[in-house]
Chains A and B, each alone.
Chain A
């Protein structure tokens, strides 16, 4: 740390910080404040003169809006499930790769590739692959293995579409977690594992008593990153399912987009924005609080 030695002057410090700070204030802070203000108005979004103050009316409408509650539940579920599964897959596969079994290089490279693909393109590809006449259904069906008699509605069945969405998100992002955990494992002293193995600890116990405690700081960061990322989901849903069928994959951001840009309810849509920002902040803070008390 730079505690020793000489720091730069206040003026120089201000000059170095100012451009980014001003930029951030104009293009991030201002919009956040504006969206909070808009959440209490009614507005079609076409002309500023039409803005009308609505107080907490939008939030009252929220409470009785079935689609909003669906979208809220789906968003929370998406964030929770994707965070848990990304960490399970990420850590599990990082351990496998770390064990250097034959083929670990292949898996590492394979998991790395989706990180370069845009979520919109990912959604486009999976939509085709999982469609009723797509690669997976054809492979399992009559012209392939013949194990199914009719196509599986990965994206068409309301109860299956959400699981499919999570699976696609795992495909897209698990490489990220794997890399972080793999990097963390690199610095895990091999003797510790060996000592545990000599003590007769099975792999589950070694995981529980050696690996996880060692990686705890990494896990804390990764979980926060996943939580933050989860709230940002938009194009994956927008392109993959459009929120359907019958809103079964609708999330707050896609419903916000629909209300604001298709139904011209900018004020109402802004109240969702407030909910998303609040939830994202709370979850990130809560996570750091929890990890703080644990350690």
Chain B
């Protein structure tokens, strides 16, 4: 009897305490602000949320300005969320699964792009592209096509080149190299003078892929080898791909890469250049020249040149393609608003804002203002820019990892292409 009674009281007491606890937790929850509010608050307004991984350059300001114009017209709220690149796609996938996708997002046009289309997470945009958008350059649109459809809109273009310290080159009586051998030969005089030759942000992975793409531009005169290898028409172990990796190996063997490049990230790369410790830095274009300009200031003069050709007299080719491309997630709550926002960034005013910050618009734009020397330099490389994309994520990942291995030591040129071929096989 006594026992039963006490057990009953126990339960009642426990229930009471449980209720108090739940109420307390509720209060805690409602007072915690934004993150507790979760997705419901966002859904209520017909706003547009943009995701991008840009920071430290002029893009966020350009987007904010375009967002302001869009808000003024539509009355909706524009919100920009900066998501660090390291976890960008992990965050996007959890956001999709969690039912709170952004309305428009910066997309990576290699690797992830095709994966996300296959998983049906992006909207096809072909119908919308005919309404109120400029005629984007055909080569760029081609690179964004997936089975004939477009799931992204290009904002601007990128050419990847080497930035070099003009003042230091003059001081050391060095000339801009005309061939790969001349570039490699620069390593010694620069090192002898107590400086470092070519800094690359090897840690980030993608620049290691770009070292290889820059060489494929020359080792594959047809310009089609990468596209053909993607379809399986030729293997990734084909000669142009091997030679491209071998060229990078040659650079490494000649100590062309700055000491410490192996653990340098994007910011470290800029810092090494801006502090005058390295004579050259790669890969730079559209997205980073503004950051370099800010970091260098008036300390020294600098300019850009593409990786030089293999033979003297041949034309120098940069690699490139779209810079920022935008997609609309299939579950976006305001896709129409997102499209209107994109129209505002790609119209006359939008493009003028890009040019002002040395970004190259993705369609013919009447450039009224006087563009800078750096801008004109980047535009001059654009028409002949070779591809820097592999659209099979596993192959692209294998390339980045093995090229990182090659530059840091451990992988040989053959390892790079073999790993790519193996990845292509297992991806099927």
Residues of chain A at the chain B interface (Cβ within 8 Å): 9, 11-12, 15, 19, 44-46, 61, 64-66, 130-133, 137, 150-151, 153-159, 242, 244-248, 257, 261-264
Q: By the criterion CB–CB under 8 Å, are B90 and A155 in contact? A: no
- Residues from 1 to 53 in B contacting A, C-beta threshold 8 Å: 3-4, 6-7, 10-11, 14, 18
Given A244-B203, A246-B402; A153-B272 close (CB under 8 Å): no
A153 contacts across to B, CB distance below 8 A: 260, 262-263, 408
Could you say which residues of chain B place their CB within 8 Å of the CB of A158?
A: 405, 408-410
Residues in chain B near residue A246, CB distance under 8 A: 401-402, 404-405, 408, 410-411
**Would you call B142 an interface residue if the criterion is a C-beta within 8 Å of the partner chain's C-beta atoms?**
no
Cβ contact of A133, chosen from B14, B203, B268, B409, cutoff 8 A = B268
Contact B268 A156 (CB under 8 A): no
Is B260 within 8 A of A263, CB to CB?
no
Contact present for B119 and A244 (CB under 8 Å): no
What is the distance, in angstroms, from B219's C-beta to the closest C-beta of chain A?
Answer: 22
Selecting from B93-101, B287-295, B307-315, B375-383, the interface stretch reads B93-101
A residues near B86, Cβ cutoff 8 Å? 242
- The chain A residue sitting closest to B405, CB to CB, is A246
Q: Are B7 and A12 in contact (CB under 8 A)?
A: yes
Q: Are A244 and B115 in contact (CB-based, < 8 A)?
A: no
Q: Which residues of the partner chain A approach B401 to less than 8 Å between Cβ atoms?
A: 244, 246-247
Q: Type the 1/0 row for B187-203, where 1 means its CB is closer than 8 Å to any CB of A.
A: 00000000000000011
Residues of B within 8 A of A137 (CB): 260
Distance in angstroms between the alpha carbons of A248 and B263 in the assembled complex:
13
Cβ of B404 and Cβ of A12 under 8 Å apart?
no
Q: Mark contacts of B204-230 with chain A using CB atoms, 8 A cut-off: 1 yes-contact digit, 0 otherwise.
A: 010000000000000000000000000
Q: How far is the CB of B98 from chain A (nearest CB, A)?
A: 11
Closest to A154 in B: B263
User: Given the interface contacts A151-B259, A156-B202, A263-B393, does A244 sit within 8 Å of B404 by beta carbon?
Assistant: yes
A245 to B203, CA, bound (A): 7
Q: In the complex, are the beta carbons of B7 and A151 less than 8 A apart?
A: no
Question: How many residue pairs bridge A and B at CB < 8 Å?
Answer: 114
Give bound CA distance, A242 to B86, whole Å.
9
The smallest beta-carbon distance between B209 and chain A, in angstroms, is 12
Contact residues in A for B404 (Cβ distance below 8 Å)? 244-246
Interface residue range, chain B:
35 or more
* B93 nearest CB across to chain A (Å): 6
From known contacts A133-B271, A158-B405, A263-B115, infer whether A244 and B205 are also in contact, taking CB-CB under 8 Å: yes
By a CB distance below 8 angstroms, the chain A residues around B121 are: 46
A156 near B260 with CB under 8 A, answer yes
CA distance A11 to B86 in the complex (A): 51
B345 at the interface (CB under 8 A from A): no
Q: Give the complex CA separation of A137 and B268 in angstroms.
A: 14
A46 contacts which of B14, B119, B402 (Cβ < 8 Å)? Answer: B119
Interface centre among A45, A64, A247, A262 (most CB of B within 10 A): A262
Given A15-B11, A66-B419, A131-B263, 20 further pairs, Cβ under 8 A: A11-B3, A12-B10, A15-B7, A19-B18, A46-B93, A46-B96, A46-B97, A46-B119, A133-B268, A151-B259, A155-B263, A156-B263, A157-B262, A245-B202, A245-B408, A246-B402, A246-B408, A247-B401, A261-B93, A264-B119
The answer to the question of B136 belonging to the interface, with a C-beta cut-off of 8 Å to chain A, is no
Asked if B93 and A45 sit within 8 Å, CB to CB, the answer is: yes
Least CB distance, A107 to chain B, in whole angstroms: 30
Bound-state Cα–Cα, A94 to B145, Å: 64
Contact with A along B109-138 (1 / 0, CB 8 A): 000100100011100000000000000000
Residues of chain A with a CB closer than 8 A to B358's CB: none
Q: Are B261 and A132 in contact (CB under 8 A)?
A: yes
Expressed in whole angstroms, the Cα–Cα distance for A169 and B3 within the complex equals 53
Q: B89 near A: Cβ within 8 Å? A: yes
List of B residues within 8 angstroms of A247 by Cβ: 401
The residues of B that contact A245 with a CB separation of less than 8 Å are 202-203, 262-263, 404-405, 408
- A152's nearest neighbour on chain B, judged by CB, is B260
In Å, the complex CA distance between A244 and B7 comes to: 58
- Inside 8 A of A151's CB, which chain B residues have their CB? 259-260
Given contacts A133-B271, A263-B115, contact A150 B259 (CB under 8 A): yes
B391: shortest Cβ distance to chain A, in Å? 14
Chain A residues in 8 Å Cβ range of B426: 61, 64-65
